[in-house]
Amino acid sequence: MSKVRSHLSQNEALLFERSSPGKKAYQLPGLDVPEVDAAAALGAENVRAEIQGFPEVSEVEAIRHFTRLSTWNYAIDYGMYPLGSCTMKYNPRINELVARIEGLAWAHPYQPEALAQGCMAVMERLETALLEITGMDAVTLQPAAGAHGELTGILLIRALLEKKGNPRKKILIPDSAHGTNPATAAIAGYAVENIKSSQTGVLDVGALEQLVTPDVAALMVTNPNTLGVFEENIIQAAEILHKKGAMLYMDGANMNALVGIARPGDFGVDVMHLNLHKTFSTPHGGGGPGAGPVAVKKALEPFLPTPRLKRSGKKLAWDYKRKYSIGRVRAFYGNFGVLVRALAYILAHGGPGLRNATLDAVLNANYIRRQLEPYYDLPYNSPNMHEVVFSDERQSKLGVRTGDLAKRLIDYGFHPYTVSFPLIVHGALMIEPTETESQRELDEFVEAMIAIAKEVETDPGMVKNAPYGTRTSRVDEVGAARKPVLRWKPA
């Protein structure tokens, strides 16, 4: 295990258990206006009693609390996060700095447009860059995350079809899709029909031809798909859909394989979302915030959410008068702070740098594939792009499943890969290294994976109970769900 050795971690109680009456970590300035009696101002019945159980700690206790807890996390800053389709790449700190520049961070969404031109210019520049990268005609930055973008995109399709007279009933979704795709279709009022992938792991165009009936509103695909395989028949698929008045939606989760190489707008996509917290390096922050811009072809532009950014001469303005718009999907204009970070990433890379990142991401994934193929079963032999999916076929014969292998990987100093997804691979190990990993980090990962494959042969029982090196051993998730304890209560 060349990457890790153990060190002490601090124990830390919950804030509520650490509290002592009267302790505080805040200071407020003295009031420069008269105090107001709350009961008189609000009515006694509207004034609350003290907040039972709320924390009472000192400043040093507060910072130690969160610092100690932070050390219980794995993070990109510790090492590689080979999570497939999640694109966990390095998060440049310059992006954090610029998002905190006072004139941007403290801009109020309702400040006069004349005093918000800087924010709007940032958004305009990002829009322009995303359109060039995707080859689409218009983009909205309003959606807050990928799934939110999906909902926006499907609502756009629905609005266009409705205007043509029939919103239709179904969305087709390949069996390799992310769970958000069918969940989104349902929220937009559509029935979901699954399409089986072909033997090579791509869309079966013949099957698609049969499935696209006048009831079908759209096909939602991820390209490259969740096997990391480019949908080579994408142009034909788009033609089949378009011929029958249906649309092609692309989940942009895997755009890291395409930037600067191929553009969805050039291969028949009508609507797509991007995940700025994946492809454009804004930090995941333990589960968010993200941003899920939606880019569309011209025909869908009238339906984009209000307001739209509009330039007239030197001035930028918000256009609220949009007759066909689906309406707002979120208050204000989007996760602006995330947009700032994404634009900083694009400026730092520039056109050539973005393309190089794609080349490196695909090279890294192929390198891992070559190194691990002798040890793990590769269910689909198609050329892969930015990620590679193995199965636990060989290891499960010895009783060790993908989830066990993943937990053992933790002992070697890595975050697990994506486990048991896509669902079309039995016992999937889905690995995406991204471009930001060096060969040294990749080699250490490969070394760990090979060592684990060997451990499975010699001591499968040991692997099944991993991890061993973490301060928390395997967690009882079944117990957590059976008797949910979702908040602290005094004993």
Partner 1 sequence: MLDACGVGSAEELFAHLPEAVRLNRPLALAAGVSEYEIVDYFRARAAENAHGYASFLGAGVYNHYRPVLVDTVVSRGEFLTSYTPYQAEISQGTLTTIFEFQTMLCQLTGMDVANASMYDGSTAVPEAAMMAVRATGKGKVLAAKSLHPEYREVLRTYARYQGMPVDEFGYLEDAGTLDLEDLESKMDDFTAAVIVQSPNFFGIVDQVKQAAEIAHRRGALLVVVFTEAVSLGLVAPPADADIVAGELQSFAISPSYGGPFAGIVATKEKFLRQMPGRLVGQTVDSKGNRAFCLTLSTREQHIRREKATSNICTNQALIALMATVFMTVYGKLGLRELAAQNLAKAHYLAGQVKPRFTGAFFNEFVAGSEGKSPEEINKALLKKKIVGGLPLGRFYPELADCMLLCATEMSRRGEMDAVAAAFGHAVTQVPEQPGAEVLA
C-beta closer to partner 1: residue 328 or 397: 328
161 binds partner 1 (CB under 8 A): no
474 binds partner 1 (CB under 8 A): yes
Q: Which one of residues 85, 140, 176, 180 is an interface residue with partner 1 (CB under 8 A)?
A: 180
DSSP character string of 283-344:
--TTT------EEE-GGGGGGSPSPEEEEETTEEEEE---TT----SSSTTS-HHHHHHHHH
151 binds partner 1 (CB under 8 A): yes
Distance, in Å, from the CA atom of 173 to the CA atom of 191, rounded to the nearest integer, reads: 10
Q: Which one of residues 96, 137, 441, 447 is an interface residue with partner 1 (CB under 8 A)?
A: 96
Q: Which one of residues 168, 170, 273, 415 is an interface residue with partner 1 (CB under 8 A)?
A: 415
Residue 125: Cβ within 10 Å count: 14
C-beta closer to partner 1: residue 49 or 458: 49
Question: By CB under 8 A, what part of segment 12-31 binds partner 1?
Answer: 12, 14-16, 19, 22-26, 28-31
Distance, in Å, from the CA atom of 232 to the CA atom of 205, rounded to the nearest integer, reads: 10
Distance, in Å, from the CA atom of 131 to the CA atom of 439, rounded to the nearest integer, reads: 32
Q: Which two tokens stand for residue 115?
A: 């005093």
- Least distance in angstroms from the C-beta of 7 to partner 1: 14
Question: By CB under 8 A, what part of segment 215-254 binds partner 1?
Answer: 230, 232, 234-235
Report the amino acid identity of residue 208.
Answer: L
How distant, in Å, are the alpha carbons of 176, 193, 394 from that of 186?
17, 11, 37
Radius of gyration of the chain from its Cα atoms, rounded to whole angstroms: 25
- Least distance in angstroms from the C-beta of 464 to partner 1: 11
373 binds partner 1 (CB under 8 A): no
206 binds partner 1 (CB under 8 A): no
Q: Which stretch binds partner 1 (CB under 8 A): 115-123, 197-205, 242-250, 387-395?
A: 115-123
C-beta closer to partner 1: residue 297 or 349: 349
C-beta closer to partner 1: residue 217 or 456: 217
Distance, in Å, from the CA atom of 187 to the CA atom of 155, rounded to the nearest integer, reads: 9
Contact track, partner 1, 329-368, x by CB under 8 A: xxxxxxxxxx-x---x-xxxxxxxxxx---xx-xxx-xx-
What sign has the CA pseudo-torsion 186, 188, 193, 199?
A: negative
Question: By CB under 8 A, what part of segment 424-453 binds partner 1?
Answer: 439
The DSSP H or E segment spanning 138 is strand 138-140
How distant, in Å, are the alpha carbons of 147, 246, 280, 316, 318 from that of 99?
23, 40, 14, 21, 22
Q: Which one of residues 101, 214, 315, 373 is an interface residue with partner 1 (CB under 8 A)?
A: 101
CA-angle at 180, arms to 176 and 181, nearest 5°: 60
- Least distance in angstroms from the C-beta of 96 to partner 1: 7
C-beta closer to partner 1: residue 416 or 457: 416
Are 185 and 216 in contact, with CB atoms under 8 Å apart?
no
C-beta closer to partner 1: residue 1 or 97: 97
Q: Which one of residues 168, 170, 273, 277 is an interface residue with partner 1 (CB under 8 A)?
A: 277
